[in-house]
Amino acid sequence: MAEATPVQIFHMEEKRRQYRSGGFFLKVGLLALFVLVPFLFPSFKTVDLAMQIIIFATLVASFDILLGYTGILSFGHGMFFGIGAYCVAFLVGKYGTPSYANLALGFVIAALVASVLALVISFLSLRVKAIFFAMITLALAELAIVLATKLSGFTGGEDGISLNMPGVLAVSFNAGNFLGLEITGRILTYYFILLACLGLFLAMLRFTHSPLGRVLQAIRDNVERAEALGYKTFVFQAISITFGCVVAALVGGLYGMWVGYVNPESCLGVLSIMLAILLMCIIGGMGTLYGGIVGAAFFMITETFLPDLQHLAKDFFPSAVLLHNVLERWHLVLGVLFILVVIFFPKGIIGSVREFIDRRK
Amino acid sequence: MEETILKRWSRELTIAGAIVLFLLPLIGIPGKTYMTLTIAGLAMGMLLFLVASGVSIIFGLMDVLNFAHGALFAWGAYVGFTVFGYLMKWVEADSVLQNFAAFSLAIVAAMVVVSLVGIVLEKVIVRRVYGSHLFQILITFGATIVLVELIRVFWGPNDEVMTVPLTFSKSWDIMDIIINRYRVICIAVGLVVYGVIQLILKKTKLGTIVRAGVEDRDMVQAMGHNIFLLFTGVFAAGAALAALGGLTMSLFSLQVYPDMGGTYLLFAFIVVIIGGLGSVTGSLVGALIVGLTYNYVAYLVPWAAAGANIMIMIIILLIRPTGLFPVGK
């Protein structure tokens, strides 16, 4: 037998360690927590919060494929997310009856539209400089909002579109009581989306750990060297961008299913969605995929409980003016935090923690 | 073969294309409206040039893509708004002299304040991320969040109405063509700024050093010039241009609001992509193209106005990926 290459040895080591490390149990525990959320905290608010965290964690992971693994900054990720949401909404809301086939078709169309658009954008922008990608996607994202608002006959304009789910996913569906929980269409939708997001996440993990993913990291770290080694960097970057954007579109469709309503502001907004994705990705840690979960959890939890926190602060510390002002100007705090993280912890929470653990070993 | 012909005649082809583009709307627009639209388009183009040239110069010398330019633009507009608030008597007076005094004071105040903000931004944040485009975009984007939020803190979150100085808002009537005075002022300001930038870059020692810095940063440093001081200066100048653009643009659109930077930053990006990132003349040409098309298309097919410029940008990217006036690096 031929001697194992260093890469193979590394892989074998990795596999051997996989089931013994604390990280593995942490991941399984996290998944179990998300599975049990409807049973443990059946209130609408917590289930909704858990679902938002799951959806945005997957979305941020797909953004991370572009930013962290390919080194390309896109301001159009929210646009792809919105395209997915709109495609599904067209099929089961505006132009079709709610049926499983239409739902599936919606996701297929979302993936197709996203892949074509992503390829076109990569072709236009990557020929010159990678930074053109940021500028062009920003322009197209703004255009998408304008189109979604102006072509109101087609997209429903500012009012948006309501979605109706088919069969067991419908809001009115009820399968009775199971372990003290009403199994409604909403709960089933929760599990469907959880499963879909898990699948997408595993697919992304596979993608980044494949030989292709390693080439992408090589390109990110040193374009000239990767080119000199004979890789067509443009092709690899285009593949990665397309993959990330397709995942974003699919996640957008799932988001539409959960919220049951799609409009330009909530799905396409550069300032609302894109800013959230960027913050989550940077704070969680880019180039890790798991950073998305931490970032999304941090962002969503603070966003949900911020009004409560403000009330608490006013009730318990009526004299602490500084605290009130900080809570009132939450975006300012987030912005400063963002800059500090970029300067001092460019690897984000996950990356810094990993570095800390590695150093202690 | 075909490609070489395209390359050899590219400049002539672009000029011809520009002329065709410029005259094409005559088919669908009556002559007088065409003149009014053209002047409006030129004015808007000049204002966009003020914004875009800042982005372009900062990128050309420092290799920094400044996403915070839009926020600086909004700061300029708000500082001008405050100055106008103090000088309301002069603004509302029916005297060209007093109007001009208020206008110039607002411009000076906006440019000084915002270039100070720019200096702080460069020294504290941008300096740490030289060399990495990705981190530059991220960090200046973070700066945008902070700066826009600070506008909300200082000036409040609402839209405010910008008062145009009384004599500026009147119109001239030349052979039945109605010409708004402020638009003419915009065109004049744009031309003056273009002239001043070219004069500084081409005729002064400072300009020579800056241009040399664009060519070869290390060599300029080796010659004993403090390149970091130069960078701070260029960043401050870019910020001042953003402020000037913001103030004049807010008088053009008659309002100020905290998120206004985002919209015009987008226009600026389209302009620099069309004109060529790093070139001042490119910014001027790109800005005029964008301003004119926007006005023509908004008159002919109102809903397509936002898309037309992006279409032009895409076409230019297909034919000349580095823009109309590429800067060799």
For chain A, strand residue ranges (E) read 161-162, 174-178, 181-184, 261-262
Partner residue facing B310 (CB), from A140, A270, A275: A140
Answer whether A123 touches B (CB < 8 Å). Answer: no
DSSP designation for A91: I
Q: What is the pLDDT of residue B67?
A: 86
- The band of A126, judged by pLDDT with boundaries at 50, 70 and 90, is confident
pLDDT value, residue B192: 92
Q: Tell me how far apart the alpha carbons of residues A170 and A103 are, in angstroms, rounded to a whole number.
A: 12
Cβ-Cβ pairs closer than 8 A, A with B, add up to: 90
Is residue B308 within 8 angstroms of chain A, CB to CB?
A: no
- Between chains, do B313 and A331 touch, taking CB under 8 Å as contact? no
Phi-psi region of A195 (alpha: psi -120 to 50; beta: other; left: phi over 0): alpha
Distances (CA, A) of A202 to A6, A188, A194, A198, A289: 25, 21, 12, 6, 10
Closest CA relative to residue A260, chosen from A340, A172, A197: A172
- Please tell me the predicted confidence (pLDDT) of residue A97: 74
Q: Looking at this predicted complex, what is its ipTM?
A: 0.79
For A146, A342, A350, the CA distances from A269, given in Å and listed in that order, are: 10, 23, 27
Other residues' Cβ atoms within 10 Å of the Cβ of residue A309:
14
Which of B128, B141, B152 is closest, CB to CB, to A343?
Answer: B128
Rounded mean pLDDT of B197-202?
A: 87
More confidently predicted of B111 and A162: B111
Render pLDDT for B205-216 as a digit per residue (tens, 0 to 9): 888 888 787 777
Q: β-strand B171-174 against A181-184: which pairing, if any?
A: unpaired
Could you tell me if residue A21 is left (phi over 0), alpha (psi between -120 and 50 degrees) or otherwise beta?
beta
Report pLDDT for B329. 45
For the ranges A11-25, A179-193, B93-107, B241-255, the maximum mean pLDDT occurs at B241-255
Taking the CA of residue A155 and the nearest CA in chain B, the distance in Å comes to 14
Does A163 score more than 50 pLDDT?
Answer: yes
Q: What is the pLDDT of residue A214?
A: 87
CB contact under 8 A, B135 and A271: no
pLDDT, mean over chain A: 82
A219: Cβ–Cβ under 8 A, 6 or more apart, which residues? A70, A71, A226, A231, A233, A236, A237
Q: Is the pLDDT of residue A136 over 80?
A: yes
Kindly determine whether residue B262 and residue A270, on different chains, have CB atoms separated by under 8 Å: yes
Q: What percent of chain B has pLDDT over 70?
A: 89
Nearest CA in chain B to A121: B314
Measuring CA to CA, how many Å separate A292 from each of A24, A64, A269, A280, B126? 17, 8, 20, 6, 26
What is the fold, at CATH topology level, of the domain defined by B25-319?
A: ABC transporter involved in vitamin B12 uptake, BtuC (1.10.3470)
CA distance linking residue B76 with residue B113, whole number of Å: 8
More confident position, B30 or A82: A82
DSSP state of B162: P
Report the C-alpha gap between B77 and B74 in whole angstroms.
5
pLDDT above 90 as % of chain B: 9
* B317 lies within 8 A of chain A by CB: yes
pLDDT of A172 > 80? The answer is: no
Task: For residues A235-251, give the mean pLDDT.
Answer: 91
Interatomic CA distance for residues A62 and A243, integer angstroms: 8
Residue A279, pLDDT above cutoff 80: yes
What are A25-71's pLDDT values in tens digits? 778 888 888 877 777 777 778 888 888 889 999 999 999 888 888 88
- What number is the average pLDDT over the span A341-360? 82
Cβ–Cβ < 8 Å for A293, A284: yes
Query: How would you classify the pairing of strands A181-184 and A174-178?
Result: antiparallel
Supply the pLDDT for residue B25.
65
**Tokens at A300, concatenated:** 């969503």
Kindly tell me if the per-residue pLDDT of A225 is higher than 50: yes
| B-chain residues near A140 (CB < 8 A) | 310
User: Is 70 exceeded by the pLDDT of residue A20?
Assistant: no
In this structure, are residues B69 and B48 in contact, taking their beta carbons and an 8 Å threshold? no
**Smallest Cβ distance to B139: which of A138, A334, A342?**
A342
What does the pLDDT look like over B28-78, one tens digit per residue? 667 677 778 888 888 889 989 988 988 888 888 788 888 888 899 999 999
Q: What is the pLDDT of residue B201?
A: 84
Which of A182-191, A237-246, B287-296 is predicted least confidently?
A182-191
- Provide the CATH topology of domain A43-304: ABC transporter involved in vitamin B12 uptake, BtuC (1.10.3470)
Instruction: State the best of B48, B126, B138, B269 to mutate against chain A, taking most chain A CBs within 10 Å.
Output: B138
Residue range A235-256: mean pLDDT, rounded: 91
Contact B256, B78 (CB under 8 A): yes
Distances (CA, A) of A34 to A45, B284, B313: 14, 55, 45
Averaging pLDDT over each range in A193-202, B119-128, B146-155, which range is the top one?
A193-202
Alpha-carbon span A254 to A200, nearest angstrom: 11
CA distances from A350 to A57, A110, A123, A311, B177 (A): 13, 31, 33, 31, 64
Asked if the model's pLDDT at residue A199 lies above 70, the reply is yes
User: Would an 8 Å CB–CB cutoff place B306 in contact with chain A?
Assistant: yes
Kindly list the residues from chain A whose CB atom is less than 8 angstroms away from the CB atom of residue B137: 73, 131, 134
Question: Which pLDDT score is estimated for A99?
Answer: 77
Domain ranges of chain A: 43-304
Per the confidence metrics, is the pTM higher than 0.90?
Answer: no
pLDDT at position B275, please?
85
Candidates B128, B141, B269; nearest CB to A139: B269
- The alpha carbon of A266 is separated from its chain's Cα centroid by a whole number of angstroms, namely 15
* CB-CB contact of A292 with A281 (8 Å): yes
pLDDT at B1: 43
Give the pLDDT mean for A76-104. 83
Least confident of A133-147, A266-280, B252-266: A266-280
